[in-house]
Structure 1
Amino acid sequence: MLDLIDLSTIPTFLLIFARIIAFFVALPLFSYRTIPTMFKIGISFFLSLMMVSSLDVGIIEVDHLFIFLLLKEVLVGLLIGLIAYIILSAVQIAGGFIDFQMGFAVANVIDPQTGAQSPLVGQYFYMFALLFLLSVNGHYLLIDGIFNSYQFIPIDSFLSFNDIFSEFIIQTFNKMFLIAFQMAIPLVGCLFLVDVALGIIARTVPQLNVFVVGLPLKIAVSFTVLLFFISIYIVLAKLLFETMFETMRDLMVILGGG
């Protein structure tokens, strides 16, 4: 407790607090509007208090470099939280692919968590993924990740940006779209076969209006396939979270100059 009231630890506490609160601003689940701002500030404050006493950091002086260290901590927290959000957004991209094939692309809904429009199936998958993340205590791993970030990016050092960083960002987007495609391919593939069947029917039976029959048929096939797809989706969600944690660790290594 003596370290907590020591005035020499205040600069260190401010740097840790800046990284944690920036991390919660961009991190999925913790950054939602429905979570009160006072809760985010409070949990960041108490986590910073615990980290000050647990991290082996020397005395940091408040000089002309302190402002740059503070900006660096904010940037680190935002980058780590943003990279996790980018990977997790693969779920909504997959839902957008599925909605386009189902005919639900014009029926986007407003996500109350983010305030942005999101596809119907994508929102369903996204909430399913977040509940799965909470059920396996993934939010504890996210908080543990920001604590372990000080092993890769020390509090008194600056960031290292090079060609590896830009290549890493490109690879991260590639992983996101690849996972989104893997999530969407079962339903999109089945709906493609339905389109082929409707095209054959339109050529063989011209009297049948395939536009009237096609939409309810595609919706019925989509929900039927989705019923069997849930078990596969859990496996893909596990792969998604493993990729998210690995990407966060790799980003810390790159920013730390490793």
Structure 2
Amino acid sequence: MNELIPHLTVFLLVLVRVSAFFVTVPFFSYRTIPPQVKITLALVLAWIMYYTIDVEPLVFNDEYILLVMKEALVGLLLGLMGYIIMSAIQIAGSFIDFQMGFAIANIIDPQTGAQSPLIGQFFNMLALLFLLAIDGHHMILNGIYYSYQFLPMDQFPSFASESLPKFIMTTFTAVFAIAFQMAAPVVATLFLVDLALGITAKTVPQLNIFVVGFPIKIGVSFLVMFTMMAVMIQVIQKLITIMIYGIRDLMAILGGG
């Protein structure tokens, strides 16, 4: 019976990191998932991970409070890194919606509860389904499991590393580059459509270009997105790969590697 009941101080530290990770990481932090399911999953996963961690029982003192805060911070940072990288989909959707004229038709994002672009939400659901299809949620769980190899429970993260600012800037650059790659085909095509509509408005002044141009831009946008869907899937796959490697690299940097 004693083997089934974990030591409370060690189990609590594992539970804090896993729970904080579920607060910000994509897919597991969605508000549409009931809180009871999240809590149950965090408890079961922390209980399983407890038996794989070789740590001596800790004493509840002032240093233990700092360890709890450290575990919460580590879990939040790892999940936030994944969320920042996946936010490139929302950025690409904002670019496309602005050109299509859908910027005024925002909808509620189930993950954050805030308004998000319509096309960005479509790409977000597509990325979520693709993440589940390639077992990406299992890779996310592997990330929090192997985080103890980079960041042991009794070790504080190294925020003074020189490579941390460089890694953050590189990640943000990659996020905007991928967002531009996803939005470039539609945005470039709509720019040419706007140019053609402008020439038509000057050539035929009697034509109400605002009434004609709006459905033309929507139809051309959907046609281009349907044609480039295979490329979009490849970019989403690249984005998920960058997210997994980004979480791993952040763990290595915080661990002093």
Tell me the secondary structure at the aligned position of residue 90 of structure 2.
Answer: helix
Read off the aligned partner of 2:166 and give its amino acid letter. Answer: E
- Could you tell which deviates more after superposition, 62-71 or 109-118? 109-118
Structure 2 unaligned runs (5+)? none
Aligned residues: 256
Read off the aligned partner of 1:160 and give its amino acid letter. Answer: S
Shift of 1:159: 1.1
> Any conservation in 2 of the 1:4–1:53 contact (CA below 8 Å)?
no
Tell me the secondary structure at the aligned position of residue 106 of structure 1.
Answer: coil
User: Hey, what does 1:10 align to over in structure 2?
Assistant: 8
Shift of 1:175: 1.2
User: Hey, what does 2:194 align to over in structure 1?
Assistant: 195
User: Hey, what does 1:211 align to over in structure 2?
Assistant: 210
> Any conservation in 2 of the 1:3–1:53 contact (CA below 8 Å)?
no
User: Hey, what does 2:227 align to over in structure 1?
Assistant: 228
TM-score by length of 1: 0.95
Q: Distance in 2 between matches of 1:227 and 1:188?
A: 14
Q: Distance in 1 between matches of 2:230 and 2:93?
A: 16
> Any conservation in 2 of the 1:101–1:191 contact (CA below 8 Å)?
yes
Shift of 1:59: 2.7
Q: Distance in 2 between matches of 1:14 and 1:127?
A: 34
User: Hey, what does 2:50 align to over in structure 1?
Assistant: 52
Tell me the secondary structure at the aligned position of residue 193 of structure 1.
Answer: helix
Q: Distance in 1 between matches of 2:148 and 2:209?
A: 60
User: Hey, what does 1:78 align to over in structure 2?
Assistant: 76
Read off the aligned partner of 1:11 and give its amino acid letter. Answer: T
Read off the aligned partner of 1:189 and give its amino acid letter. Answer: A
2:98 equivalent to 1:100: yes
User: Which deviations, in whole Å up to 9, do the C-alpha atoms of 1:72-108 show, x marking residues without a partner?
Assistant: 0000000000110111111111001000000111111
Q: Distance in 2 between matches of 1:111 and 1:71?
A: 29
Sequence identity percentage = 55
User: Hey, what does 1:118 align to over in structure 2?
Assistant: 116
Quote the RMSD (CA, aligned, Å): 1.3
User: Hey, what does 1:24 align to over in structure 2?
Assistant: 22
Read off the aligned partner of 2:198 and give its amino acid letter. Answer: G
Q: Distance in 1 between matches of 2:177 and 2:76?
A: 24
User: Hey, what does 2:178 align to over in structure 1?
Assistant: 179
Read off the aligned partner of 2:40 and give its amino acid letter. Answer: G
Structure 1 unaligned runs (5+)? none
> Any conservation in 2 of the 1:94–1:181 contact (CA below 8 Å)?
yes
Q: Distance in 1 between matches of 2:73 and 2:10?
A: 16
Q: Distance in 2 between matches of 1:5 and 1:93?
A: 46
- Could you tell which deviates more after superposition, 25-34 or 203-212? 203-212
TM-score by length of 2: 0.96
Shift of 1:220: 0.8
Shift of 1:141: 0.5
> Any conservation in 2 of the 1:4–1:49 contact (CA below 8 Å)?
no
